[in-house]
A = this chain, B = another copy of it.
Amino acid sequence: MSLIEELLAVNERYAATFQKGELPLPPAKKLAIVTCMDARIDPARILGLEEGDAHVIRNAGGRTAEALRSLIISQQLLGTRTIMVIHHTDCGMLTFENADLQRRLREQFGVDASAIDFLPFKDLEQSVRDDIALLRSSPFLLKESEIVGFIYDVHSGRLLPVH
């Protein structure tokens, strides 16, 4: 069986006993989470979230600059009022610089990727602070929304607050 066939077979079993077909669109906990795409992070399990509870926005690094469009929609159209920014230990974004990846793309594909900022970072705690500061200074987000930052430790499964 191919990977996709295997995943669809699992989905058939999920759908067979599915009982959450009438959930409302707005998140029940009025919560939006911004976190990394990292495979070791399962936001629902880490925080005990059920289907319907929270918006989950994920990208490489959990960078809020790229989450702004989604957060505006989340607040304006779907009523969320708390934002959790969660970066994590052992993040791939700590391992390279823009120039490294741009060179690699040029060598591999013969393309110019110098216009792409891959948003890597060198200091994990500072990356959370920077990303929260970016949200707090955005003229497009609600001033009264609560914005909190964390580092998720992939070795312990624990969330550590960033102040």
List chain A positions with a Cβ less than 8 A from chain B: 3-4, 7-8, 10-15, 18, 20-23, 25-32, 37-42, 44-49, 51-60, 66-67, 69-70, 72-74, 76-78, 82, 84, 90, 92-93, 95-96, 101, 104-105, 108-109, 111, 113, 116-119, 139-140, 146, 148, 154-159
Contact = CB atoms under 8 A, between A and B. Distances in A.
A55 B78 contact: no
Q: Which of A4, A66, A78, A93 has the most CB of B within 10 A?
A: A4
A77 B105 contact: no
Given A4-B148, A21-B157, A37 B11 contact: no
B60 A70 contact: yes
Instruction: Determine how many copies of this chain the complex contains.
Output: 2
A148 B140 CA distance: 34
Given A11-B159, A148-B4, A159-B8, A39 B28 contact: yes
Given A52-B39, A118-B69, A14 B46 contact: yes
